[in-house]
Amino acid sequence: MIDRTEGTAAVRADGLDVRRGGKPVLRGLRLEIPAGRVCALVGPNGGGKTTFLETAAGLLRPDRGTVRLLGEDPGSDAGRTRLAFVGQDKPLYPRLTVAETLRMGRDLNPGWRPDLAARMLDERISERARVGSLSGGQRTRVALALALGKAADVLLLDEPLADLDPLSRHHVTSVLMSDAAERGTSIVMSSHVLAELEGMADEVLLLDHGRVRMSGPADEATADHRLLTGPAAEDAAPDLPGVVETRTRGRQTTLLVRGDGTVPGGPWQSEEPSLETLLMSYLRSPEAPAWIARPLDDTAPTATHQEAAA
């Protein structure tokens, strides 16, 4: 494990406002992702996931508020050496071979670990192949190899699994999980494939309209909700506090309820929701109050990026 990351959040955003094309995209984001965790970043299209990752990677400057990676400004030299970012566009040099690309990674990164980079590749990606001749999924694997070889403390990955086949997805998620377990790497990865995040994510962060809808440990999130199933008859649904969503299909009604308390009994069955069910309910219920496990202390100062950097 990486001792120097203990006690400091992998990512902390405080009052983060980011505008793009003149429009507010992130709106006063306040959140903390603990170090050494695998965080699933989810949300609808346009919710602000890419903008958040690009800001956390130091590629976009906040209009207001701060973002810190392991306590560092991500735009500083110290911040840049501790993070690796893989965006959706994966800019690689098409004329270089895979071997030349990895040599470039070695030359640019003092802490380069060829063994870590090699884990992302397999015999189907020839080191002699030019990057421009690879498929989209193979290029993703090369971009991930560059990121992993950097041996960074925080990996920020924007939909890294999106163009991978099922075997490659399995390979890449195993390599990422091993890296998190062996080196204590903090990983924040966005994805739309909610089922795949189950069992992989320690933390969940749901962004919608540039605001936090859910933030905290995945197991706490599911344990703090109940899925109630019962008859669809009119007026049969129990009147409970904390209902996030009510759905009726055929003769059955399901309620997703916040809190592990009251179970109505009678014909109603109660179980803990899966992470996928929970996230789907929150995605379908934009009016439900946010679930935030660790609200940030309101007394913490909120400086602008420019103030903080000065």
Q: Which residues bind ligand ATP (CB under 6 A)?
A: 20-21, 25, 43, 45-51
Residue 290 CB, nearest distance to ligand ATP (Å)? 16
Choose among 69, 293, 79, 292: nearest CA to 188: 69
Q: Which is nearer to ligand ATP, 48 or 217 (CB)?
A: 48
Q: Where are the beta strands (DSSP E) in 5-107?
A: 9-20, 23-34, 38-42, 64-69, 83-86
Are the CB atoms for 26 and 51 separated by under 8 Å? yes
Residue 20 CB, nearest distance to ligand ATP (Å)? 4
Residue 142 CB, nearest distance to ligand ATP (Å)? 21
* Residues in Cβ contact with 178 at an 8 Å cutoff, skipping those fewer than 6 apart: 119
Q: Which is nearer to ligand ATP, 27 or 247 (CB)?
A: 27
Q: Which is nearer to ligand ATP, 151 or 161 (CB)?
A: 161
Residue 52 CB, nearest distance to ligand ATP (Å)? 7
Q: Which is nearer to ligand ATP, 25 or 83 (CB)?
A: 25
What distance in Å separates the CA atoms of residue 172 and residue 155, rounded to the nearest whole number? Answer: 13
Residue 171 CB, nearest distance to ligand ATP (Å)? 23
Residue 192 CB, nearest distance to ligand ATP (Å)? 7
DSSP annotation of 17: E
CA angle 283–162–46, rounded 5-degree value: 40
Q: Which is nearer to ligand ATP, 43 or 62 (CB)?
A: 43
Residue 47 CB, nearest distance to ligand ATP (Å)? 4
**Could you tell me whether strands 252-258 and 243-249 are parallel, antiparallel, or unpaired per DSSP bridges?**
antiparallel
Round to the nearest angstrom and report the end-to-end CA distance of the chain: 32
Q: Which is nearer to ligand ATP, 57 or 228 (CB)?
A: 57
Are the CB atoms for 142 and 174 separated by under 8 Å? no
């983060």: which residue's tokens? Answer: 16
Choose among 90, 91, 92: nearest CA to 162: 90
What distance in Å separates the CA atoms of residue 87 and residue 82, rounded to the nearest whole number? Answer: 17
Q: Which helix (H) or strand (E) holds 225?
A: strand 225-231
Residue 86 CB, nearest distance to ligand ATP (Å)? 14
Q: Which is nearer to ligand ATP, 50 or 138 (CB)?
A: 50
Q: Which is nearer to ligand ATP, 23 or 251 (CB)?
A: 23
- Residue 256's Cβ-count burial label (10 Å; 0-12, 13-18, 19+) is buried
